[in-house]
Each structure stands twice: as structure tokens, then as C-alpha cells.
Amino acid sequence: MAKRFSKLRQRFGIAAPKMSVRTDVPWYLRWLGIAVMLAFSAALALWMYDAGRRFAGFDRSEVEQELSAARSELGKLRAELERLGTIANAADSKVSIERTAQQKLAQQARVLEQENARLREELAIFESMLSSETASAAPLSVLRFKVEPDTLSGKFRYRVLLLASGPRRGKEFQGRLELVVSLTEGGRGAMITLPGQGQADNAPFRLGFKHFQWVDGTFRVDPKAKVVSVQVRVYETGWAEPKVTQSVTLG
């Protein structure tokens, strides 16, 4: 009995264990409080990070300003580069035009030089025609005959000056001209007659003059062939044999 009474005193007496009263908080309020604490902690950490960078000498606003200034300067440099590129293209175009003009002038100068040489040659011929030696020469003669390689391989240019003098001077000469080209190809000799067979009445080879006549033109051979010599033959209409012939040898 005494033992039971002692246990009751320990449970409800001064020595009894302390009792605490707690308020029941809903779970969503707890999570909201946790979220608020986390957001506050994050904001505090960000502020401390930014404050630390400022303390270390790093300012985000200054960096953004410098970046904006660099972008602006880059834009100006690009615009300047485009302007210089436009100027350079215009300069290239101008240089190209000037180069083309110089080439045309050089070509015209070469043509004028050739024409000047031809005129000097004709002047010398006309002077010789007035001399007594020419007056007593043959009735029909080849005063000049030239054959020269052209710029294209296998192409040749010829020029013939025919002169009527003495008894034939002032009389109309009618006839034709013929070229005989001697060449070698592959170690064998060959001959080409111009104009070809059936082309004897070819306009460039027809002749009709009283005092003199220039005849010039071109002919082609195989580029692999080598022209040795060229002979010009002058035929009068109605005659089978040439009235005059002359040959040139090419190196």
C-alpha cells in the first residue's frame, strides 16, 4: 500500500515529469516558412557575393558600360572597314580602267607604227617609180614581196606590190595572182598552191590596175609544218604561163 502511494506521488506530485503544450501548425505553412527562409538566404548570399566582388574591385555596371562602349566602337570600326572597302573597290576599278586604256593606247601606237612604216615603204616605192631606172624596167614587175609569220601558229601574212611600167604604163592589166608554198612536214617536202584548185577566180587574188596594185592577205598551214619558201606568180588573163614570178625564202 505504501509502495503504491509512493508511485502516485511520483506521477502527480512535485517530482512528476514536466508537461509541454505545443500548437499544431499546418504542413503548408511550414513549407511556406521554409521557402521564405531559403529565398531570404539566397538573396542574402547574392548580396554578399556582389558585395564581395565590389570589394575586390569588380563592378557589374561598369563592365556592362565598357562592354557597350566596346560594341559601339566595333560597330564604328566595321562601318569604317566597309567604307575603306568601297574606296578600295573603286580604286581597283579605276586602275582596271586605266590599265585597259593604256593597253588600247599601246595597241593604237603599234598600229600607227606599222602604218608609218608602210607609208615610208610606199614613199620609197613611189620615189623609185619616178626614177629613170624604174621607167626603163620590165613592163610588169613585182616591186615588193614579203611573207611573215603571223601571231597564230601556222598562219602567215603576205604582201605584194605589182608595178606596170614602160610600154604598159597607163594600160589596164587584168589577171590573177597565185602563191606556191613549199614546206616540209614530218621530214617530207610538200607544196601548196593558193588559191586552191577550182578557186582561181577568188576575189583576193584577182588583179586589175593601170599603174600599180597592192595585194595582201593571209594563208594557213599545219602548225607542225615548216614553210621553206613562197613564190608569187602573176598571170595575165588569157595566158597560161605567168608573166612574172618572185620567191622569198623563210628561215
Any idea what DSSP says for residue 17?
P
In-domain check, residue 202: yes
| Length of the chain measured in residues | 251
* Whole-number pLDDT of residue 158: 93
Find the DSSP H helices in the chain.
2-12, 27-55, 60-130, 132-135
Note the pLDDT of residue 46: 73
Q: Exposed/middle/buried for 250, CB within 10 Å: 0-12, 13-18, 19+?
A: middle
Q: Are 114 and 167 contained in the same domain?
A: no
Kindly give, in sequence order, each residue whose CB lies less than 8 Å from that of residue 156, ignoring residues fewer than 6 positions away.
Answer: 147, 148, 149, 150, 218, 219, 220, 221, 227, 230
Domain closes at, from 130, 151, 180 = 130
Q: Are residues 86 and 175 in the same domain?
A: no
- pTM summary value: 0.51
Whole-angstrom distance, CA of residue 231 vs CA of residue 165 = 22
Work out how many domains the chain is built from and give that number: 2
Residue 108 lies in a domain: yes
Q: What is the pLDDT of residues 118-172, one digit of tens each?
A: 778 777 766 666 564 445 556 788 888 999 998 888 899 999 988 887 655 567 8
Q: What are the residues facing 145 on neighbouring strands?
A: 160
Answer whether residue 2 is part of any domain.
no
The answer to whether residues 191 and 181 touch, using CB atoms and an 8 Å cutoff, is yes
Domain final residue, candidates 84, 107, 130 = 130
Question: Among candidates 224, 215, 163, which has minimal Cα distance to 190?
Answer: 224
Amino acid 85: pLDDT: 83
**Cell numbers of 172, please?**
589596164
CATH number of the domain bearing residue 159: 2.60.40.10
Are 157 and 230 found together in one domain? yes
| Cα–Cα distance for residue pair 160/175, rounded to 1 Å | 14
**Domain end: 130, 157, 176, which one?**
130
pLDDT under 70: residue ranges of the chain:
1-30, 49-63, 125-138, 166-170, 197-201, 251
Same domain, 156 and 197: yes
3-state secondary structure 59-106: CHHHHHHHHHHHHHHHHHHHHHHHHHHHHHHHHHHHHHHHHHHHHHHH
The pLDDT assigned to 170 comes to: 60
Domain that holds residue 185: 137-249
What cell does 191 get? 607544196
Do 166 and 124 sit in the same domain of this protein?
no
Segment 199-208 long-range contacts (CB within 8 Å, at least 24 positions apart):
200/176, 201/176, 205/176, 205/177, 205/178, 206/175, 206/176, 206/177, 207/162, 207/173, 207/174, 207/175, 207/176, 207/177, 207/234, 208/172, 208/173, 208/174, 208/175
Q: In the structure grid, which three cell numbers stand for residue 24, read together?
A: 499544431
